[in-house]
Chains A and B, each alone.
Chain A
Amino acid sequence: MGKQYEIPVGAQHIALLEPLHFKFTTENEKIINTDANVYYVHRGIELACCSKFKFRQVSFVVGRVCGLCSISHTTAYSQVAEKLLKIEIPKRAKYLRMLVIELDRIHSHLLCLSHVAENSGFEALFMKTMQYREFSMELLEAVCGNRIQYDFSIVGGVSRDLKPQIADSIISRLKTFMPQLDELMDIYQHNWTLSLKNKGVGAITKQQAMELNLVGPFARAAGLSVDVRNETEDLLPWKEVGFEMVTETAGDVYSRNMIRLRELYVSIRIINNIINGLPEGDLITETKAFPEGEATVRLEAPRGELFYYAKGNKTQVLERLKIKAPTFSNVAGMVKGFEGNEYGSAPAIIASYDPCLSCTAR
Chain B
Amino acid sequence: MKTFFKALGNLVKKPVTTKYPFEQTFIPDDYRGLIGFEESLCIWCRRCEAVCPPGAIVFSQDMEGKQTYHYNRAVCIYCGECVRACPKEGALFQTAEPGHCALKEENINNGWNKLFAEALESRELYAAEKKRKAAEKAAADKAAAAAKKESEGNSGTTA
Tell whether A151 is near chain B: CB-to-CB under 8 Å: yes
Q: Size class of A's contact patch?
A: 20 to 34
Task: Tell me the residues in window 153-189 of chain A with beta carbons closer than 8 Å to chain B beta carbons.
Answer: 154, 159-160, 163, 166
A138 and B32 contacting across the interface, CB-CB below 8 Å: no
Q: Nearest-CB distance from A229 to chain B (Å)?
A: 27
Tell whether A276 is near chain B: CB-to-CB under 8 Å: no
Closest 6 CB pairs of A and B: A145-B32, A57-B53, A60-B53, A151-B79, A142-B28, A138-B26
B80 and A146 contacting across the interface, CB-CB below 8 Å: no
Closest chain B residue, CB of each to CB of A284: B84
Query: Which one of A60, A146, A149 contacts B81 once the chains associate, using CB atoms below 8 Å?
Result: A60
Q: How does the 8 Å CB contact mask read for B63-95 relative to A, with 1 for contact and 0 for none? A: 000000000000001111100100000000000
Knowing A131-B16, A146-B32 are in contact, say whether A191-B3 is a contact too (CB < 8 A). yes
Tell whether A53 is near chain B: CB-to-CB under 8 Å: yes
Closest chain B residue, CB of each to CB of A146: B32
Q: A57-B81, A60-B53, A142-B28 are in contact. List 19 more A-B contacts (CB 8 A).
A: A57-B53, A60-B79, A60-B81, A124-B7, A131-B16, A138-B26, A141-B31, A144-B32, A145-B30, A146-B31, A146-B32, A146-B78, A151-B32, A151-B79, A151-B80, A159-B79, A159-B81, A160-B30, A163-B30
Complex-state Cα separation, A56 to B80, whole angstroms: 13
A159 and B84 contacting across the interface, CB-CB below 8 Å: yes
Complex-state Cα separation, A53 to B84, whole angstroms: 18
Q: How does the 8 Å CB contact mask read for B1-40 relative to A, with 1 for contact and 0 for none? A: 0010001000000001000000000101011100000000
Tell whether B51 is near chain A: CB-to-CB under 8 Å: yes
B84: chain A residues at CB < 8 Å are 159
Tell whether A335 is near chain B: CB-to-CB under 8 Å: no
Q: Nearest-CB distance from A294 to chain B (Å)?
A: 24
Q: Size class of B's contact patch?
A: 10 to 19
Q: Nearest-CB distance from A123 to chain B (Å)?
A: 13
Closest chain B residue, CB of each to CB of A191: B3
Q: Nearest-CB distance from B100 to chain A (Å)?
A: 16
Tell whether A61 is near chain B: CB-to-CB under 8 Å: yes
B51 and A57 contacting across the interface, CB-CB below 8 Å: yes
Q: Nearest-CB distance from B46 to chain A (Å)?
A: 15
Q: Nearest-CB distance from A251 to chain B (Å)?
A: 28
Closest chain B residue, CB of each to CB of A60: B53
Query: Which one of B3, B53, B77 contacts A53 once the chains associate, using CB atoms below 8 Å?
Result: B53
B77 and A56 contacting across the interface, CB-CB below 8 Å: no
A145 and B77 contacting across the interface, CB-CB below 8 Å: no
Complex-state Cα separation, A138 to B31, whole angstroms: 11
A60 and B3 contacting across the interface, CB-CB below 8 Å: no
Closest chain B residue, CB of each to CB of A139: B28
Task: Tell me the residues in window 88-138 of chain A with beta carbons closer than 8 Å to chain B beta carbons.
Answer: 124, 131, 138
Complex-state Cα separation, A124 to B53, whole angstroms: 42
Q: How does the 8 Å CB contact mask read for A48-72 relative to B, with 1 for contact and 0 for none? A: 0000010011001100000000000
Complex-state Cα separation, A209 to B6, whole angstroms: 39
